[in-house]
Amino acid sequence: MLSHVGAAAAPEQQQTERRNPGGTFDAAWVDAQRVNRSAVERRVATLAGRRTVKKQWQAAWLLRAIQTIDLTTLAGDDTPGNVQRLCQKALHPVRTDLMEALGVPAGSIQAGAVCVYHALVADAVAALHGSSLPVAAVSTGFPAGQTPQPLKLREIEASVAAGAREIDIVISRRLVLTADWVALHAEVASFRQACGTAHMKTIIATGDLGTLANVSRASMVCMLGGADFIKTSTGKEATNATLAVSLVMLRAIREYHEQTGCRVGFKPAGGIRTARHALDWLILVKEELGDAWLQPHLLRLGASALLTDIERQLEHHVTGSYSAAFRHPMG
């Protein structure tokens, strides 16, 4: 069934792909970024009506969506217990009976990562011991980023030392709003250095940036700073991932790849709660960047509630009936 969207790349294949090393700040390249808002809005407004998948093809795409989910818990009442349950759900995201009915081998589908606060990184790492599933930690004063730079760097280093293999950092939005692109580049480059071998997802918090032009320029600066992924949102802003800002970011990724040969990943996050939403983002990525980006090492969906709806849709495909959400617990 996964052949409809291509098998996920093996871990060793992902490791051989060259990471984005970043580069020196290029003011001319950043200033040249332009966005036609009307064209962007027309493009995304027609997406759902033009592209749809049904039956076994929809099931295959939804299984791929599961493989790209950063299964996330970022609540004030998180405990080691609920993080352990989340990790087990990430390792076994679909009920065994549904996997058997779909003809998918047991253990062949897992989430992209488990994402937690730094305080729970060690618990997540312990719960995932023996698996290839990475732990991602939000960092740098998430979600607002309003902490001193030395503390941000220490937080990254502490999460990496605790076993996090991915770090989701937040940029200082004021640097975008004041067009201080040189300082933003330096900030992101310092975060990348602190990450070491851990992959860095750079959250630009699109809902706080004011304009699509700012989204495009911030995306380019972060990639020049060495971001392995650019990510739309923390999930805590008033406006999180939208197809419009995603289109702008995807086209920045495409331009960066054309100019440097480096593939940078993309992560929309916040507000992606239904299987239909997940399919919209996968289709947009496929149309803008191609099949190469439909792999977990280049595409992640930041979500907590999405998996439940996907599992309900898969049960509908198997049985013809929708089940209650409580039959598909998140963890």
Report which of 248, 318, 326, 322 is spatially closest to residue 101, judged by C-alpha positions.
Answer: 318
Partner residues linked to 231 by β-bridges? 203, 267
The proportion of the chain whose per-residue pLDDT surpasses 90, expressed as a percent, equals 86
> Is the pLDDT at 8 greater than 60, yes or no?
no
If pLDDT is split at 50, 70 and 90, which confidence band does 16 have?
A: low
In a domain, 10, yes or no: no
Query: How many alpha carbons lie under 13 Å from residue 54 in its C-beta half-sphere?
Result: 0
> Is the pLDDT at 152 greater than 80, yes or no?
yes
Residue whose structure tokens are 């030395």: 150
If pLDDT is split at 50, 70 and 90, which confidence band does 49 have?
A: confident
What does the pLDDT average to over 205-224? 98
> Is the pLDDT at 123 greater than 80, yes or no?
yes
> Is the pLDDT at 10 greater than 60, yes or no?
no
* Structural domains in the chain (count): 1
> Is the pLDDT at 1 greater than 80, yes or no?
no
> Other C-beta atoms within 10 Å of 154: how many?
14
pLDDT tens-digit profile of 84-93?
Answer: 999 999 999 9
Q: C-alpha distances in angstroms, 276 versus 25, 32, 54, 64, 205?
A: 39, 35, 11, 13, 23
18 phi and psi angles, rounded to 5 deg: -65, 130
In a domain, 104, yes or no: yes
What does the pLDDT average to over 277-284? 95
Q: What is the domain-level CATH number for residue 61?
A: 3.20.20.70
DSSP string, 147-196: S-HHHHHHHHHHHHHTT-SEEEEE--HHHHHTT-HHHHHHHHHHHHHHHT
In a domain, 15, yes or no: no
> Is the pLDDT at 3 greater than 50, yes or no?
no
In a domain, 16, yes or no: no
Catalytic residues: 168, 231, 267
> Is the pLDDT at 35 greater than 50, yes or no?
yes
pLDDT for res 107: 85
In a domain, 208, yes or no: yes
More confident residue, 305 or 58: 58
Q: Is 43 exposed, middle or buried (0-12, 13-18, 19+ CB in 10 A)?
A: middle
Q: What angle do CA 90, 94, 96 make, to 5 degrees?
A: 120
> Is the pLDDT at 48 greater than 90, yes or no?
no
> Other C-beta atoms within 10 Å of 69: how many?
26
How far apart are alpha carbons 223 and 149 in whole angstroms?
20
What does the pLDDT average to over 179-184? 98
How far apart are alpha carbons 248 and 219 in whole angstroms?
9
Report which of 62, 111, 70, 63 is spatially closest to residue 279, judged by C-alpha positions.
Answer: 62
In a domain, 108, yes or no: yes
Kind plus residue range of the DSSP H or E element containing 96 = helix 96-102
In a domain, 56, yes or no: yes
In a domain, 65, yes or no: yes
Domain extent, residue 84, equals 22-327
How far apart are alpha carbons 58 and 35 in whole angstroms?
32
pLDDT for res 9: 53
> Is the pLDDT at 112 greater than 70, yes or no?
yes
Q: What angle do CA 299, 155, 20 make, to 5 degrees?
A: 35
Q: What is the dihedral angle through the alpha carbons of 200, 201, 205, 210, rounded to the nearest 10 degrees? A: 80
Provide the mean pLDDT of the chain: 92
